[in-house]
């Protein structure tokens, strides 16, 4: 039966274990979260020696997995079999392997907790084995978050840790780390180590503990461009050029492209109220004032031209038609074109 990761974790924490879990999808964070919880908590430390088996897909065939799953526990109520990287099981995609799996799923051993960690892909729902898995197992299918969903996810995660975070700080984390939830949680955990309980995480704390320069970062560059602060924008571009490892060009271009693309949407929006723009742009109302300022400083025609400049710079950053031009030169030229 298909379930959400949150519901599965809630059941596990209440002591409810199913015979078979099938964890699949593009976002490995939840797959690891659930399988790690089972690995750490389904058995006591004394029980794990005889009753817990961790297998890796590339090393096993389906018959070996099922042989272990059919064992009875020794001096324990259950045994645990976890198959990591299950997408690499040697005969998973073959008829023989699927028949072995099918036979087990139709009659699973209730004293076994069998977990398949099928990462970075998902089964074809049209296939009979996929339909059987969804019917006979607790199935969780994970998806990568869209970029605009990440800040809200950050706020929920921080709240779950007993802290709070303001909107600006959540967006800074999302924009600097991206939508890789494992990286995000690692960065937040490192930050929280340095803070007393119930502290509110601010932009200043993010800058201090997640390694974002207070003056020279992509957020400040976007702000300088929004305000048409020529001096500051060029200072940041020079700093980025001198420190390319800490400020790679492609993510900078991606963030600026996102900003100007949203400006174009804002110009086209029939409802230019704060609430209307927040809905169209899918941003927190806190940031609408930045887009309104951007609309005043960049008419629609200039926004369209800037999107073209950003696409050209993106191609150049990937080596298309640049000759001997380096990243610093590409960025300086881009900033000049965006501003003028």
Going along the chain from its start, the domains and CATH numbers come out as 5-142 (3.40.50.300), 147-209 (1.10.8.60), 218-339 (1.20.272.10)
pLDDT beneath 50: ranges in the chain = none
pLDDT of residue 211: 64
Residues 178-221 pLDDT 10s: 788 998 999 899 888 888 888 899 888 887 777 666 667 888 89
CA dist 271 and 201 (Å) reads 33
Q: b/e for 87-125, b at 16 or more Cβ within 10 A?
A: bebebbeeeebbebbeebbeebbeebbbbbbbbeebbee
pLDDT of residue 251: 84
Residues 16-49 pLDDT 10s: 999 999 999 999 999 999 999 999 999 999 999 9
pLDDT of residue 317: 84
CA dist 97 and 143 (Å) reads 27
Helices (H), 92-229: 95-105, 128-136, 150-160, 167-177, 181-193, 203-209, 218-227
- Name beta bridge partners: 56: 84
CA dist 84 and 286 (Å) reads 42
pLDDT of residue 169: 86
pLDDT of residue 183: 87
E-state strands within the chain = 20-25, 52-56, 79-84, 112-119, 138-142, 164-165, 200-201
pLDDT of residue 207: 78
Distances (CA, A) of 60 to 21, 96, 271: 18, 14, 58
pLDDT of residue 2: 81
pLDDT of residue 255: 87
Cβ atoms within 10 Å of 56's Cβ, excluding its own: 14
pLDDT of residue 213: 60
Distances (CA, A) of 164 to 148, 216, 232: 19, 26, 31
Q: Which pair of structure tokens corresponds to residue 267?
A: 């110009």
């Amino acid at each position: 039966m298909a379930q959400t990761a949150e519901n599965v974790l809630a059941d596990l924490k209440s002591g409810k274990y199913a015979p078979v879990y099938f964890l699949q999808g593009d976002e490995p964070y939840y797959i690891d979260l659930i399988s790690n919880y089972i690995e750490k908590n389904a058995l006591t430390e004394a029980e794990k020696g005889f009753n817990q088996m961790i297998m890796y897909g590339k090393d096993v065939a389906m018959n070996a997995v099922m042989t272990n799953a059919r064992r009875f526990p020794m001096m324990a109520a259950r045994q645990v079999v976890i198959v990591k990287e299950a997408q690499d099981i040697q005969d998973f995609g073959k008829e023989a392997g699927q028949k072995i799996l099918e036979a087990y799923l139709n009659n699973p051993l209730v004293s076994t907790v069998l977990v398949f960690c099928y990462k970075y892909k998902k089964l074809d729902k049209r296939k009979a084995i996929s339909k059987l898995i969804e019917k006979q197992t607790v199935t969780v299918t994970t998806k990568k978050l869209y970029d605009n969903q990440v800040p809200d996810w950050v706020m929920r995660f921080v709240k779950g840790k007993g802290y709070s975070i303001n909107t600006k700080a959540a967006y800074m984390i999302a924009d600097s780390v991206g939508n890789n939830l494992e990286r995000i949680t690692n960065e937040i955990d490192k930050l929280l180590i340095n803070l007393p309980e119930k502290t509110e995480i601010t932009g200043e704390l993010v800058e201090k503990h997640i390694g974002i320069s207070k003056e020279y970062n992509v957020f400040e560059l976007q702000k300088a461009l929004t305000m048409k602060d020529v001096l500051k924008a060029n200072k940041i571009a020079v700093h980025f050029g001198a420190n390319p490892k800490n400020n790679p060009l492609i993510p900078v271009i991606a963030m600026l492209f996102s900003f100007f693309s949203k400006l174009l949407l804002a110009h086209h929006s029939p409802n230019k109220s704060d609430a209307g723009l927040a809905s169209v742009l899918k941003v927190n109302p806190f940031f609408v004032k930045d887009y309104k300022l951007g609309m005043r400083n960049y008419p629609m025609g200039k926004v369209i031209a800037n999107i073209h400049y950003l696409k050209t710079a993106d191609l150049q950053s990937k080596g298309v038609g640049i000759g001997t031009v380096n990243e610093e030169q590409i960025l300086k030229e881009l900033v000049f074109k965006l501003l003028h």
